[in-house]
Structure 1
Amino acid sequence: MFDIKAVRADFPILNQTVNGKPLVYFDNAATSQKPQVVIDAISKYYGEINSNIHRGVHTLSQLATDAYEISRQKIQKHINAKNSYEVLFTAGTTHGINLVANGFAAFVKAGDEVMVSAMEHHSNIVPWQMLCERVGGKLVVIPMNENGELIIEEFEKRLSDKTKLVAVNHISNSLGTINPVKHIIDKAHAVGAAVLIDGAQAAPHLKIDVQELDCDFYALSGHKACGPTGSGILYGKEEWLNKLPPYQGGGEMIKEVSFEKTTYADLPHKFEAGTPNIEGGIVLGTAIDYLNSIGLDNIAAYEHELLVYGTEKLLEIEGLKIIGTANEKTSVISFNVGNIHPYDIGAIVDKMGIAVRTGHHCTQPVMDFFKIPGTVRASFAFYNTKEEIDALVTAVKKAQTMLG
């Protein structure tokens, strides 16, 4: 059974007040809060086994190395990767995408195409633009409709034998749309294209099975899934990771070095140059354990309740318009109220202890499509409540009265 009181007790930050009001944290799409077990694991690493990994014969180094590699195995199991060495530790989703984009310079030639969707985060647009500029490739965009859903018929029309890679998000950070990534992957593979999925927003909400999806790459961030900032993973199929050149050179990613020639280490170390974020990698495993202890199915069901309730209550506000009304959504509600600037609403609700995100959410093309400067985004997590949504509604109404 999902016990919201017990869950909230796991998150010490939720007990505080902001501007004299109980904190209501609705900025989960930007970063999640951390349960006590994760906070304790960070302290435990630095207090008990802090050491560099893979390089020492001494006890602390071995303990840290074991903890780091056990975490890799946990994540492998969590996303159902075939092999643990297909899981690369990164600094987050952006790092993972850039690693692939950099490597694909070896496979994308002048006239070739890379496809992204109209609802991508900047981190899944800019690296591909840089790649196309570097090699003379073309960036092709999958359009979306007024509901914030991809137009799949147009995607299929734009696929061709020139398409070398398709990069799409599993869930839109600014709209909450859950994209039909399995269908996209299957269609892309039919023309010989590789597929990268940006899973930054999916990891906290959905079960991810990379073998079932059959994606070639899947990137996610730890900090959005109750883990530390500066942590994340890139999953890559073994065949692709063997073909891609290293992203960075340095220690750890080498087998033999001479001034004449360097040979590279086997997977996964080929892509993990230098001293990694050891604590982040270890504690990301702790965060995954925590999410699984609650159950991602339970999380998804509860968050859907919050989405339905929040949508209903917010739409009772006169002049409020939700941006992103896809049939398949996660617990994100982006909205505007009349002609009031999103920033002004955000500033007033903050005075009432409520944290929301305002702006373009690193998706300027989405805002351009809807012809708006930005939105107020309330993004719910499994530790939020309907009572907190009621507080948001009250705060938005107050802002509307003050600003209208």
Structure 2
Amino acid sequence: MQTLDHWRQDFPILKQQVNDEPLVYLDNAATTQKPQQVLDVIEAYYQQDNANVHRGVHTLAERATKSYETAREKVQQFIQAKSTKEILFTRGTTTSLNWVAKSYGDLAVEKGDEIVISYAEHHSNIVPWQQLAKRKGAKLVYIELTDDGYLDLEDAKAKITDQTKIVSLAHVSNVLGGINPIKTLTELAHQHGAVMVVDGAQSTPHMPVNVTELDVDFYAFSGHKMCGPTGIGVLYGKQALLEKMEPVEFGGEMIDFVYPQESTWSELPWKFEAGTPNIAGGIGLGAAIDYLTAIGMDTIHQYEQELVAYVLPKLEAIEGVTIYGPKDPKDHTGVIAFNIEGLHPHDVATALDMEGVAVRAGHHCAQPLLQYLKVPATARASFYFYNTKEDADRLVDAILATKEFFQNGLI
């Protein structure tokens, strides 16, 4: 198994102890840690270049604008979009999906139309479509899952019809960790004249993404899940669609000219970006992309698959542990949801924290999925490239110690 240990040294937060134990951070699906290189870039912006973008002609404003728009170019190259006009900066995946549901959805969906999603979606990829369906009198249709946690392609073929106007699916489930065949699903959606929207929050940080090759119409992701700052995200949209859409927010920056009774909008991508943007966030995201590119997204993806292949059999061998989602590492990211028989996931997460192991417990903003799985909650360990085999072993040992404690009062 290859090692990426030397990259781990760039993350100051990982060097601390929690509850007198070395920290093992396995909550990366919620947010990732930031390398020193990203922290330094953000600090340098505030210390040396802090100014508003696009508006000023003084030196600081020009430097800030150049750095911010260079970050947009880095995003374009990272996901291989055709133009920076197709890259909109947002607050995160949630905002991006809401923009599509409100702007494109209101434009394209009419009474009686259908919007197709799956049971494995994050709430951010459910609730905006629920609201759109209510506004328009449309129907929200769910694709089923197979018994082993994959999206059921046969059911997708049955559910996506000529009545479908929008298909919106996660590239990777934030609970099950399974990788969906987005290109195949996009082709299916396009055959019926529907647009394809993709929640890329759990895919973009972990594998190469080429939106042009996938031919998706919209693709959303967040900076904080890929070593960047919080409060910055991206919405990719095909230029022809974005040109037709109306902005969702209005105010400064996104206008061309304001008359007393009406206004005209700026050109793409700025027509959607009202107000002072998260400048430091955008610049920080650009630095995170530089960092990930230096490692190589193929390298990250391969390493995480090897890590999952190492730890999954160990977890499955523990009596009373149930793993949810695909079991084949090649169809899996570093997300592993599990439960321990007889223990509430919150108790499990608390006990693991006492061992210095940070995992998430709860419904993971995916309540329809957990209802589908017939469980109220799960624990979730989620790995990233700075995690190690030793981290995986610490997780296994902590689970064994937790079982021992609750069964016999020993730890």
User: What is the TM-score with the length of structure 1 in the denominator?
Assistant: 0.98
* Contact 1:2-1:298 within 8 A present in 2 as well: no
Aligned residue runs from structure 1 range 156-235, under 5 A = 156-235=157-236
1:338 aligned residue: 341
Of 376, 379, 382 in structure 2, the residue corresponding to residue 379 of structure 1 is 382
| CA RMSD, Structure 1 to Structure 2 (Å) | 1.1
- Provide the secondary structure at the position in 2 that maps to 1:114: strand
Matches within 5 A, 1:101-112: 101-103=101-103, 104-112=105-113
Q: Does 1:11 pair with 2:11?
A: yes
Distance 1:3 1:388, change over 3 A: closer
Distance 1:336 1:278, change over 3 A: same
3-state DSSP of counterpart to 1:227: coil
Equivalent position of 2:255 in the other structure: 254
Distance 1:260 1:368 in 2: 50
Match of 1:117 in 2: 118
Letter of the aligned partner of 1:384 in structure 2? N
Determine the structure 2 residue equivalent to 1:145.
Answer: 146
4+ runs of 1 displaced by more than 3 Å? none
**For the residues of structure 1 that align with 2:3 and 2:59, how far apart are their CA atoms?**
41
Instruction: Quote the Cα distance in structure 2 between the aligned partners of 1:314 and 1:23.
Output: 20
Aligned position for 1:301: 302
| Candidates 353, 374, 377, aligned match of 1:350 | 353
Give the CA deviation at 1:169.
0.3
Deviations 1:176-226 (A, max 9, x none): 010011000001001100011000000111101000000000000000000
* CA distance in 1 between partners of 2:45 and 2:296 (Å): 25
d(CA) in 2 for partners of 1:207, 1:335: 27
| SS of corresponding position for 1:149 | coil
Shift of 1:65: 0.4
Aligned-partner Cα distance in 2 for 1:3–1:346? 27
Task: Quote the offset at 1:3 in angstroms.
Answer: 4.8
Q: Aligned partner of 1:249: which letter?
A: F
Q: CA deviation at 1:326?
A: 5.1
In 1, are the aligned partners of 2:111 and 2:137 still within 8 Å (CA)? yes
Q: What residue number does 1:34 align with?
A: 34
Distance 1:167 1:326 in 2: 24
* Cα contact 2:92–2:221 (8 A) shared by 1: yes
Q: What is the match of residue 324 of structure 2?
A: 323
C-alpha contact (below 8 Å) 1:37/1:286 kept by paired residues: yes
- Give me the identity figure in percent: 52
Q: Is the 8 A contact 2:10 2:35 kept in 1?
A: yes
Q: Distance in 2 between matches of 1:80 and 1:372?
A: 39
Deviation at residue 4 of structure 1 after TM alignment: 2.6
Contact 2:252 2:274 in 1 (8 A): yes
Report deviation, 1:339.
2.1
Distance across 1 between alignment mates of 2:390 and 2:131:
45
Maintained 8 Å contact 2:304/2:385: yes
Cα distance per residue 1:138-193 (max 9 Å; x no partner): 10111112211111111111112211100000000001010011000001001100
Q: Which amino acid aligns with 2:217?
A: D
Counterpart Cα distance in 1 of 2:2 and 2:38: 20
The 3-state SS of whatever aligns with 1:287 is: helix
Equivalent pair of 1:149/1:326 in contact (CA under 8 Å): no
Which shows bigger deviation, 330-339 or 281-290? 330-339
Q: Structure 2: which amino acid aligns with 1:41?
A: V
- 1:309 partner SS: helix
The AA in structure 1 aligned to 2:369 is V
- Partner deviation per Cα, 1:205-261 (whole Å, 9 max, x = no partner): 110100000000000000000000001110000011011111101001111101221
Instruction: Determine if contact 1:320/1:336 at 8 Å carries over to the other structure.
Output: yes
Alignment partner, residue 83 of structure 2: 83
5 Å-filtered alignment, 1:28-107, equals 28-103=28-103, 104-107=105-108
Structure 2 distance, partners of 1:373, 1:160, is 32
* TM-score, structure 2 as length reference: 0.97
Asked whether the 8 Å contact 1:2–1:294 carries over to 2, the reply is no
SS in 1 for 2:56: coil
Superposed displacement of residue 5, structure 1: 2.8
Structure 2: gaps spanning 5 or more residues: none
**Residues 92 and 221 in structure 1, CA contact (< 8 A), matched pair in contact too:** yes
Alignment check: 8 A CA contact 2:112 2:138 kept:
yes
Contact 2:5 2:388 in 1 (8 A): no
Say which is worse superposed, 101-110 or 24-33, in terms of deviation: 101-110
The residue identity in structure 2 corresponding to 1:303 is: E
> Equivalents in 2 of 1:339, 1:123: separation in Å?
31
In the alignment, is the contact (CA less than 8 A) between 1:314 and 1:320 conserved in 2? yes
Q: 2: distance between equivalents of 1:370 and 1:79?
A: 33
1:71-113, Cα deviation, whole Å (9 max, x unpaired) = 1011101111000110000110001000000111121111011
